[in-house]
Amino acid sequence: MSELYHPPIKRSVEIAGHKTSISLEPLFWDELRRATQSERIPLNALVARIDAERLTAPDAPGLAGAIRQWLLARRIAAEDRGQ
């Protein structure tokens, strides 16, 4: 249970040719990796997609927050579909 409350880990990603770092808890990094496998796209591509989507929001959150929200919305949608 201690891994559930692990502090964020910073990792570098590349979005549109620019490197940036994102700090996420290991739980979210694991879930993001599962999403890339499920969608069959590289991590950088998925993060870039989430980034582009968040920028269309009227009050866009930061990238790390947007990733967390995207992952939760994805999980809820899967549960609603019975997966």
Q: Break the chain into its structural domains and give their ranges.
A: 2-80
pTM given for the model: 0.90
pLDDT at 2: 52
Q: Given a cut of 80, is residue 3 above it in pLDDT?
A: no
pLDDT digits (tens, 9 = 90+) for 19-60: 999 999 999 999 999 999 999 999 999 999 999 999 999 999
CB 46 within 8 A of CB 71: no
CB 72 within 8 A of CB 28: no
CATH of domain 2-80: 1.10.3990.20
